[in-house]
Amino acid sequence: DIQMTQSPSTLSASVGDRVTITCRASQSLGGWLAWYQQKPGKAPKLLMYKVSTLLGGVPSRFSGSGSGTEFTLTISSLQPDDFATYYCQHYNSYPVTFGPGTKVEIK
């Protein structure tokens, strides 16, 4: 199974900050990586897939990059609505697995 890690586990930031979350895989993913946002009491929301393809309606301040085993989610200017937990997920092979999550908190 491919293991996923994320760093940091918690991130404290202010509105307007540039935020970067890193996701690492135990083996190369061939670009098959997605990012989700989850708010308390809600189901996860898919933000992007194939490393950097944003779903419709996702603000352009979100971007993804990376290749091989290391990937990043960047929020260019943090907005109040962005305080949430973010998960990466690989879908290179079964079983698909998620990272442990990064909580973005208000500083």
Partner 1 sequence: QVQLQESGPGLVKPSETLSLTCAVSGYSISSGYYWGWVRQPPGQGLDWIVSFYHSGSTFYNPSLKSRVTVLVDTSKNQFSLNLTSVTAADTAIYYCVRLLTVTLIRGPFDYWGQGTLVTVSS
Rank residues 16 and 40 by Cβ distance to partner 1 and give the closer one. Answer: 40
- 17 versus 24: smaller Cβ distance to partner 1: 24
Closest approach, Cβ 93 to partner 1, in A, equals 7
**Residue type (1 letter), 91:** Y
Cα separations in angstroms, 97 against 27, 63, 78: 12, 21, 27
CA-to-CA distance for 81 and 67, rounded, in angstroms?
28
CA distance 77 to 17: 5
Q: Which is nearer to partner 1, 32 or 83 (CB)?
A: 32
* Residue listed under structure tokens 């979100």: 62
d(CA 37, CA 57): 13
Q: Would you give the DSSP letter of residue 80? A: G
Q: Which residue lies nearer to partner 1 by CB, 20 or 101?
A: 101
Q: How far is the CB of 87 from partner 1 (least distance, A)?
A: 6
Task: State the residues that interact with partner 1 by CB under 8 A.
Answer: 1, 32, 34, 36, 42-46, 49, 55, 87, 89, 91, 93-101
Tell me how far, at minimum, the Cβ of 44 lies from partner 1, in Å: 6
What residue type is assigned to position 100 of the chain?
P
CB of 106 vs partner 1, minimal distance in Å: 19
